[in-house]
Every structure is written in C-alpha cells, then in structure tokens.
Structure 1
Amino acid sequence: MSILKNMIHPNSPYKRIWDLFVFLCITYFAIEVPIRLVFPHKLTVGVTHFERFIQIIFGIDLVLNFFTSILKDRLVIQNKKIVAKTYLKSWFLIDFLSAFPFDLFGGFFFEYFGVTDSLKILRLLRSVRVFELFKSLRMLALGADSEDRFKLIEVINPMTFRLIFFVYWTSLFAHWVACGWIYLTPEFLADKDIYTRYIRSLYWSVTTLTTIGYGDITPTTNPQTIYTMGVMILGVGIYGYVIGNISTLLSNLDISRVTFQEKLNTINSFIKYKKLPPQLANRIRSYYINLWENKHGIDETEIWNQLPSGIKIDVSMFLHNHLISVVPFFKNAPEELKREVVLELKPAYYMKGDVIFREGDVPHNMYFLSKGQVEVIKEKTGELLATLNSGSFFGEMSLIDDSLRTATIRAGSYCDVYTLSKDAFSEILRHHPSFAKHINVIALERKQHQSSFKESDES
C-alpha cells in the first residue's frame, strides 16, 4: 500500500496540469535557444532567473518521472523498480541533458572541451518529448468512483489533434530552419536589425519548405547550398504530408453527411427500379431528409444494439425517464420497473401528415412523443379534439385493456416517437406482480366507467 501512496497516477489531473506546464517550458526553450545561438546577446537578470527557474522545473520533472506509474496494455504499473528501469531506458538521458546547468560549469567545459554556450543546444533534445506530452494533453482526466480512480475523456478530436500537432511542429521546424540559415549566412542582411534579418530568414524557410521558392534569396556558398538542398527534400515530405492530412481531414470532417448521401443515392435507385409514383417517392425522400436534419444520420438502433445492457439501461433512464414519469400509472411505479420499461422503448419516426394509428384500430403500442406535434382527430367527423406537443404520451390504455382505438392520431410535424409494445409491458408486469395488481384495478375502473358511459348514452 505504501508503494501505491507514493506513486503518481499518470492520468491524475494534477499530473496533466504539470505536463502542460512542462510543455510550455519546453516550447520556450525550443524557440529561445536557436535565436540566442545566432543572435548572441547578454541576458538580463530577470531572464537569467526565469531560465534558472525553468531548469529547476525540468529537474523536478526528472525526479517525478521516477515516481509516476506507467501504463502498459491498459494496466497501471506502480512497481518502482520497473518504472525506474523503463524510464532509464527511454527518456532519462534526454531529460538529464536538458536539465543539467551547463552554464554554471562554463569554465570547466571551455577548458576541457572548448565549448560553453553551445551546450545549451542540448536543451532542444527535450523538444522530442513534446510529442508524448502533446498526446497526453489531448486527453483529460476526470475523477471517478473508488474502483476506477481516474477516467479519461478525449477533449480533442483525433483529426483536429493531428492538425494542431502538425501546425505546432511545422512552425517550430520552420523557426529552426530560419535560425540555421542565419547561422550559415552571417553576412545575410548584416546591415539590418535582428528583427528584419529573422523575418526575412523565416520567409526563406517557409517558401523553401513549402516548395514555392521564389528565388529572391538564394545560397551562395557550398554549405548554404547543401543546407538548402536538405531543407528542400524535407519540404517535399512536409508538403506531401500536409496535402495528405488535409484531404483526409476534409473527407472525414462530416463523414455522416457522406454516408447519408450514399444512402440517398441508394434510395433513388430503389425508387427508379420499383417505378414508384412521384408522390410516394417524394414521401420516401422527405422521410430520409427529415431524418438527416433531425438525427444527423445517426442510426440510433444500431448504436443501441451494440451497447452493453448496463450502459444501455443508464442511458435509457437519462433519456426517457422524464417521458414515462408523466404517465399516471407510472408515477408511483418502482424504480426497477421503470428501468425495464425504458429499456423496451423503441424509436419510431413520422412525417407531417402521417397517420400513427386510426380510430378503431387494434392497439399494440403506447407512444411517447419526444419531439414534434401530433393531432388527436375524431375519424367520423374530422373534428380536431386536441394537439399534443413534445413530452406528451398517447395510446397508454392499450397496455391495460383490449379496447379498440377511440381516436385517430396524425403527425402535425416531423415526430420523434418512442413506442412501448403491449407484449413487452405484459412481460414486465409478470416480473412485478404487485404493480400488475395495481394495473388490473385501473383497467377494471376504466371498463366500469366505459360501461356506465354507454348506459347513460343509451338512455
């Protein structure tokens, strides 16, 4: 247990915040170190203290990595020896070189190696870790129950993440290439200020990497020429990668719309093959178009069938509990029965003008109106008895007696409906005998009320 208390969970919210902070520190050095190498300048006391603070952060991060659990095959490994061995074989050397204060030992390194500030370029090695940190920051850790201390949710879409990561690395690489050009060409715009020299070098870097190359800035020495050829080769690769990713991003940006269009083409082929009349064909197309506009091409049934029963029940209660709770004989129903009821609800969709059921039909389902509007009509006279809106229910008496439909229900707009079949409800009552007695009492009272109504009507 002591090991568990001492080790840091890799998905801890605090670890995520720390990773973000380290990521920003790495980005600072990745930008600042090359600039200092090509534009040497004396640091102010404030900047020196700030960089010393960042080095301390890197040192703390190096130590924390020995006490941070690792994830392998979705298993959290908290054994200190395994964690340390894994870290020593992976990122330790890079982290150590980037955190070591070479500038404090400048005299020693100059005496034995003839270098001093150039060793600061070792800090760029830590930029390689940006990929790991950036990937971890794509996920967000949230507190969970005691059995699963931390759960991850994805906060950035994978395609969006790839695009952001690509823009970040491309910008950083263009910056490094620009600094490399200045380093190889000290005479480049030597009479200009450092801001102009950097911007013009960055311009050359971008035009070369994007394979545009206007030719207004060209290499004149062999090192410059070799450097330019290397950047061109990398630029071709980057250009191909950009085009490939953008085309993939655009094709997957709204994949549901593409799927819907394919389905609509199939429907049109079906209509043409079966030679359906124009009015019926338009109703079919209208149905699918309205289904797209309201459901965005989501096949609810397919998703529903793939969910495990435990999640399915919880989702059903969240989505439909308010619908069934307004039904009088469900208000005081036990929670277990409600959970079984919502699990049996089936989605159905109706277009404006569709008849959901007619007066005199044999009842098989009751209906919960999730979205839309329906009209209650007296079939013989055409009289509009009532209008029901979202959140309403109708046809509930079909669950408790065998009487025929007493009115016609017609969709007044596109309707998103959930149905509960009589057979499913009977099976649920079989599991809840006490509630079944309550339903029988309601059914008996309804029959007595109907018979008394008929007698008074006859007299």
Structure 2
Amino acid sequence: EEEQEEEKEEEEEEKERRMGTQSNTLSSATYLPSDLAPIRICPCSLSPVSLSADVTYVLWMFLVSLAWNWNAWFIPVRWAFPYQTTENIYYWLLTDYLCDLIYILDITIFQPRLQFIRGGDIVTDKKETRKNYIKTKRFKFDVASLVPLELFYFLTGINPMLRLPRLLKINSFFEFNERLEAILTKAYIYRVIRTTTYLLYCLHCNTCLFYWYSALDGLGSTSWVYNGEGNSYIRCYYYAVKTLITIGGVPEPTTLFEMVFQLVNYFVGVFVFSIMIGQMRDVVGAATAAQTYYRSCVDNTIKYMSSYRIPRDVQNRVKTWYNYTWQSQGMLDEQELLVQLPDKMRLDIAIDVNYSIVSKVPLFQGCDRQMIFDMLKSLRSVVYLPGDYVCKKDEVGREMYIIKEGEVQVVGGPDGKTVFVTLRAGSVFGEISLLAVGGGNRRTANVVAHGFANLFILDKKDLNEILVHYPESKKLLRKKARLNKMALHIEHHYVEELCEFPATILCMFIVITGFISLIVVNCLNHRKMLNKGKNPEPKQEPKEPPRVPAAPVRTETPRLLRAALEMTERSSGLKGALAKVKEKTNKSSISLQVNQL
C-alpha cells in the first residue's frame, strides 16, 4: 500500500511538472496574432550541450550552412565569369536575400535561445541565454556578416564582391559539421567527403582567379591565358587542376604577373595538397583504427607462437578464435571501450545490452534489481570454440558462466563423452562452485562448447563484493544453488546408471543361465547316482564280490560361465554370496554320494 501511495504521489508530481513546463513554454513561445489559434514557431530554448539531442536545431543549422555555401561558392563565380546578366539578375538577387533572411532569423530567434552551462548548471532562461549570446564573439561576427554593403549597388552597380562579409558566418558551417558527425554512425565517410570538398573549393577559387586575369589581360592575348574557346569554366578548371596539383604541361608564363601567379599556385598547391593528404590519412586511420589494432594483435600472437614452436593445430585454433571474435563483435575486448566512461554511463550501456539476457536467468529471479545492475558492470564476454572445455570436473571454481549465444554440453560417464544435458542461451552454470555450496568449491562436471559459444563470465571476487551489500539475495542464491546441486547429482547418478544398464542386464542374464545350467548338471548327476543305487534283476551269472561304487566325476564349469561369474562378482559385489552357494552345492553333492555309499 505504501508503494502504491508513493507511485501515485510520483505520478501527480510528474503531471504537475509537465503542466508547469507546458505553461512556461506557452508563455515564452512566439505566436501568430490572437485571432488565430496559437501555433508555436520556435522552441523557447535549444540545447547545444548534447550534440544530437535537439533535432530542430540541427535541421536549422543545415539551412544556415546551405546559405553560407551559396555565398562561398557563387560570389567568386559571379565576380569572375559573365554568368550574372541583366536577364537573370533578379533570380540571383532573390536567392541572395533569401540567404540573408536565414541569417537574420538565426541571429534573432535561434542563437539567443541556445542554452549554456554556468557553474555546472544548464541555464535555460530566455533572458540569460540572450545576454550570453550578445557577450560572445560569435554575435559580433554574425552582425558583421550582415553589414549592408549592398547599398553601394547604387554607386558601383551590382557587384557580388560587396557580399563578401557574408562569409564571416563560417562558424555556423563548422558547428553543423560537428553536430552532423555526432549523429552519423559512420562519421568517417562524411569526413572524407568534407575534406574532398575543401580541395574542390580551392580548385574552384583558382579557376575563378585564372579566368579573371585572362579576361583582364585579354582572352587569347598570350599562350598562357585562356583563349576563349569551349566552356570557359571547364577549360579554366582543367588549367587550375594542372597548376595547383603541379602536374605540369602548362604553357610558360610570359609576363611578370603570370610568373607571380604561377609561383603562388605552385606554393599553395604544395601546402594545400600536403594538408589534404595528411587529413585524408588521419581520417582513414581513424576509421580503420580498430581493424589495425586487430591485425596487430593477430600478427604479434602468430609471431609469438612461431617463436616458441607451438603446434600447428593450436595455432589454427587461435587464429579461428581471433577471426570469429572480430566478425561477431567487431572488437576483441568490449571492456576497453567502457573503461573511460563513468560508472553510471557504463551501467546504462550494460543494461541496454545485457539486462534482457540476465533478467531471464532463473537463478536471479527474485533477487534485488539493484544487485543485478551491479553485477552487469562486472560481466565480461568470452568466446569459446567448438570442442573447447569451459571448465573441467574437480577444478577449483572461480567463475560463474551465463550463456549469451550458442550452446554448451555437460559431459561425463565412463568414457567422458556421454552428454548429460545441453545448455542454451540464458542458462547459468558454475554457480555451485562459485557460491561454495556444501563446503566445496570444486567443479562437479565437465562443460564443453558444442559450437561457437559466447559466454558472460562473473568472477568470484566481484560477486562476493556485490553480495556483501545484498544479504537477502545472497541467501536466495545459495538456496537455489543448493537445490541445483542436488538436482544435478541425482541427474548424473541416474544417467550413469542408465548408461551401465545394458551391461548389467547382460551380466545378470549370464549368471542366471549359469545357475540354471549348474542346477541341471547336479540334477542329472543325482539321477544317475539314484539309478545306480537300485537292485538289478537276478540273472544267471556267477556272483562276484560286491564293489564299492566310485563317485562320479563332476563336470567342469564352462569357461564362458566362469568368466561371467567372475565379472559379476567384481561388478556387483556378490563374490562372497556366490562362493557360499558354490560351497553348499559341492557339500550337498558330496554328502549325497557318501549316503549312497
């Protein structure tokens, strides 16, 4: 009842908090005129703390980035090439002012609502966020990017170079790149594309400069400048690629300006391409860092095994383990990735990944939920190959195993290959030795991986440290482990007897057959002796002195029967009983013969 009351109170508090949040949001949002239904245009605050939390802000930054790229790519083209004419000037101006509108909305609506951290607390108040934005350098650059130099159009005409201040909003472009990389699962692909775009932009600017000088000096005036044939942008871009990448094959410069321009192109090309190649190497290296580490581990392990002349079959099993672990997990040790994270974050990740498996284990049913959470942080994943012994009988138990994927088999019997039971995903074994039930910590059976098995391992030291804080769960685990031990012992005993049942039946059949044959032989001997004891009919023969009848020779026990008796005596412990029966039988036959005498 107390828990239900607490839950009701929590629900009421949650409702009140939501109502308060909604009222604050409604009071601080921007609306259309009062005669229309209120429609929210922009949220009261945006969170830049979490790079991927607020999708609205990321989408808006995408629009701002598009506006900046429009200015960065088309201002040089419109300045150098004759693409801006009186027929299409209105389309160019319309797009320019649309980009300016995006800049204005960003400065007046979105940026003043960005949350910030002050003293470890996230500030969401609208007035405070506006004051913080005005104090930053970014605000000054944003305002400078909107300087209305277009007013000089009335003096100089429509000159695109007057829009160069729009490029001062480059911080928005870099911020969008960071947030997009935080959202993407394979960010290295975007980094490669972005680095390639930087290179293309350098070639684009060089193309515009080359055409500008060619038009200024006169198209086709020298062999070095553009001759005015074909598509002007494509021809100049081809020249820029050959010059900036220092491929060669360009005409020799003739004037001083041409020489200086060519030298600047060579120097800039060397530095730009060295930087680009270095960035490409870093991007590719970061993308393949895990695979490089995997290859390094495999090569070092093979080198170590070869130096110590490890058998070839062992080396093949090690290679198979590396290959399967990498293909199934994408890493060799999951714990290495989580070491640097705080405990709370590691717990959240462990709950999302492993709680669905551990919570279904019957051994942990009824245990404290927080105890299971603490145990999740101590689990480590290990892969076993087909035929690998996970644990052997009579070993000292220091770990408990939870099957994540695959199957393992409990084997035993006289040959050590009889399968007692097959354990699948979600099963637990090793808890009897780990909890030292019955005063022992030895393994009670052999466990072999049937195929590729991925197991969670919990160390005894870690489990004891956890159970210290949960005594009730400790008692429950010990009780369940004790019951599991009894059930396992009964099952093993039953299976062993079942395995020996055919041999026992055969031995008993041979023994019973031997007894029956022995009784039949004795009966026949007795009958012969009784028949010899009768008085014969009188005959006309000379009388001879009476002879004492000799004792008949008893037939020897057959070898097969003797071997069966000996094996039965050893296996069933009836050696004394069979000897007594044998002795009594001999005594009875001898006494009968004496009586006949």
Partner of 1:30: 72
Partner of 2:158: 117
2:401–2:430 Cα contact (<8 Å) kept: yes
- Higher deviation after alignment, 71-80 or 421-430: 71-80
Partner of 1:204: 239
Task: Report the structure number with the largest CA radius of gyration.
Answer: 2
Q: Indicate which of 257, 267, 274 corresponds to 2:301.
A: 267
Unaligned runs of 5+ in 1: 142-151
For the residue of structure 2 that corresponds to 1:117, the secondary structure is: coil
User: What is the Cα-based RMSD across aligned positions, in Å?
Assistant: 3.9
1:200 Cα deviation (Å)? 0.7
Change (3 A) 1:226 1:165: same
1:24 Cα deviation (Å)? 0.8
Partner of 2:513: none
More strand per residue: 1
1:207 Cα deviation (Å)? 1.7
TM-score scaled by structure 1? 0.78
1:174–1:209 Cα contact (<8 Å) kept: yes
1:409 Cα deviation (Å)? 1.3
1:348–1:419 Cα contact (<8 Å) kept: yes
Return the structure number with greater relative CO, CA threshold 8 A, min gap 6. 1
Identity of matched residues, % = 21
Residue by residue over 1:358-407, the C-alpha shift from the partner in whole angstroms, topping out at 9 and shown as x without a partner, is 24545443311223332332242422344444444333444552475454
> Which runs of structure 2 are paired with 1:182-331 in the superposition (5 Å)?
182-186=211-215, 187-188=218-219, 196-215=231-250, 219=253, 221-331=255-365
TM-score scaled by structure 2? 0.62
Change (3 A) 1:54 1:250: closer
Residue by residue over 1:74-116, the C-alpha shift from the partner in whole angstroms, topping out at 9 and shown as x without a partner, is 977846555324338851464123xx261x5533xx2xxxx23
Change (3 A) 1:124 1:335: same
> Which runs of structure 2 are paired with 1:49-198 in the superposition (5 Å)?
49-64=94-109, 67=112, 69=114, 78=128, 80-81=130-131, 83-87=133-137, 90-92=140-142, 94-97=144-147, 100=148, 102=150, 106-107=153-154, 110=155, 115-118=156-159, 120-130=160-170, 132-140=171-179, 153=182, 155=184, 160=189, 162-186=191-215, 187-188=218-219, 196-198=231-233
Partner of 1:41: 85
1:121 Cα deviation (Å)? 1.0
1:450 Cα deviation (Å)? 7.4
Tell me the distance in 2 between the aligned counterparts of 1:351 and 1:439.
Answer: 30
Residue by residue over 1:299-329, the C-alpha shift from the partner in whole angstroms, topping out at 9 and shown as x without a partner, is 3343444433222322222222222223223
Tell me the distance in 2 between the aligned counterparts of 1:386 and 1:451.
Answer: 13
> Which runs of structure 2 are paired with 1:333-352 in the superposition (5 Å)?
333-352=367-386
Partner of 1:146: none
Tell me the distance in 2 between the aligned counterparts of 1:451 and 1:287.
Answer: 33
Tell me the distance in 2 between the aligned counterparts of 1:35 and 1:449.
Answer: 83
Tell me the distance in 2 between the aligned counterparts of 1:240 and 1:258.
Answer: 24
Residue by residue over 1:416-445, the C-alpha shift from the partner in whole angstroms, topping out at 9 and shown as x without a partner, is 211234554455444333334434544565
Tell me the distance in 2 between the aligned counterparts of 1:332 and 1:355.
Answer: 31
Tell me the distance in 2 between the aligned counterparts of 1:204 and 1:93.
Answer: 38
1:176 Cα deviation (Å)? 2.3
1:182 Cα deviation (Å)? 1.8
Residue by residue over 1:154-203, the C-alpha shift from the partner in whole angstroms, topping out at 9 and shown as x without a partner, is 5376755553333223222322222222222124379968x711111111
Partner of 1:367: 401
Tell me the distance in 1 between the aligned counterparts of 2:111 and 2:346.
Answer: 41
Which one-letter code corresponds to 1:197 in the other structure?
S
Unaligned runs of 5+ in 2: 1-23, 30-42, 221-225, 498-571, 573-597
Tell me the distance in 2 between the aligned counterparts of 1:225 and 1:232.
Answer: 11
For the residue of structure 1 that corresponds to 2:386, the secondary structure is: coil
Partner of 1:145: none
Change (3 A) 1:174 1:57: same
Tell me the distance in 2 between the aligned counterparts of 1:441 and 1:273.
Answer: 50
Is 1:354 the counterpart of 2:388? The answer is: yes
For the residue of structure 2 that corresponds to 1:418, the secondary structure is: strand
For the residue of structure 1 that corresponds to 2:179, the secondary structure is: strand
- Higher deviation after alignment, 15-24 or 270-279: 270-279
Change (3 A) 1:235 1:397: same
Which one-letter code corresponds to 1:356 in the other structure?
V
Partner of 1:147: none
Change (3 A) 1:390 1:157: same
Change (3 A) 1:176 1:68: farther
2:406–2:424 Cα contact (<8 Å) kept: yes
Change (3 A) 1:379 1:86: same
Tell me the distance in 2 between the aligned counterparts of 1:368 and 1:333.
Answer: 16
Partner of 1:416: 454
1:368–1:394 Cα contact (<8 Å) kept: yes
Tell me the distance in 2 between the aligned counterparts of 1:431 and 1:96.
Answer: 63
Tell me the distance in 2 between the aligned counterparts of 1:213 and 1:424.
Answer: 68
Residue by residue over 1:328-373, the C-alpha shift from the partner in whole angstroms, topping out at 9 and shown as x without a partner, is 2312323112113323323333222211122454544331122333
Tell me the distance in 2 between the aligned counterparts of 1:237 and 1:82.
Answer: 39
